[in-house]
Amino acid sequence: ALFCLLLCVPWGSSCPPSCQCTERAGAKAVLCSSRHLEEIPKDIPKDAVFLKLDANSITRIPSNAFRHLSHLEELDLSRNAIEKIDRAAFKGVAAGLRTLDLSSNRIRSIPKEALLALNAKLRLANNPWHCECALQEVLWEARLDPDSVQDITCHTAPREEYVGKPLLQVLDAGVNFCSVRHRTTDVAMFIAMFGWFAMVIVYVICYVRHNREDTCRHVEYLKSLPSTQGRAE
């Protein structure tokens, strides 16, 4: 009887011990708010539609962290200590996810590949962002929550005058962080090419000088040999 009972229980319906699982509008909601979690639970039910992990101490979102949650629509990771987000952090939930809250964390930068595949509305406010090309591309191409866009502020930036200002305001002023990166890359390539060209020139000069010295020594050697006429006499 116990064996039959175990077979009848759906494996995806268990609930992590640190969370509370309820029904919300006929869909499963997994509530793990303020549970002192330091990482994302690995036993979240596969049929979860709403997942709240806010107000914890999570520091990283690893690759495939939510891959088994194919029904997930809303994900709240706000008010954590997240510093690193892997490129494939949201792989597997990109198609169905509608909202993703990453506000009030410690995120300075994020791989654009992690977010640009999402159709979800993003909340990225109140993070110590480093304003750079990748963040600019996210702002241009991702679906950001319009109510929180102004709170995406440059905590650090290539120039001091941008620090403390909303990223949207800086971009509206005509700043393009991606063009700065491209110019830096072009300069680096020019320096590398110049160094390579200089090495070739130095090699040619050394080669010619070495051959000239060998030629001079050979001529001097020939001059030191007794002539054929002298040997005949």
The two three-digit tokens of residue 12, written as one number: 């995806």
3-state class of 4 per DSSP? helix
Per-residue pLDDT 10s for the chain (233 aa) are 443 433 333 444 689 999 999 998 899 999 999 999 999 998 999 999 999 999 999 999 999 999 999 999 999 999 999 999 999 999 999 789 999 999 999 999 999 889 877 889 999 999 999 999 989 988 888 899 999 999 999 999 999 999 999 999 999 999 999 985 444 444 445 455 656 666 777 777 777 776 776 677 766 666 666 654 444 44
H helices present in 43-156, as ranges: 112-116, 133-141
Close Cβ partners of 16 (under 8 Å, ≥ 6 residues apart): 30, 32, 41, 43, 44
Q: Is 174 helix (H, G, I), strand (E, B) or coil?
A: coil
C-alpha span between 219 and 222 (Å, rounded): 5
Distance CA 41, CA 20 (A): 12
Domain 20-175 has CATH 3.80.10.10: yes
Distance between CA 130 and CA 126 in Å, rounded? Answer: 12
Closest CA to 91 of 73, 66, 71: 66
- Calpha distance 126→85 (Å, rounded): 16
Of 53, 52, 51, 43, give the one whose Cα is nearest residue 12.
43
Please give the structure tokens belonging to residue 161: 């005058």
- Contact predicate 125/152, CB 8 Å: yes
For the chain, domain boundaries: 20-175, 178-210
Query: What element of type H or E holds 216?
Result: helix 177-224
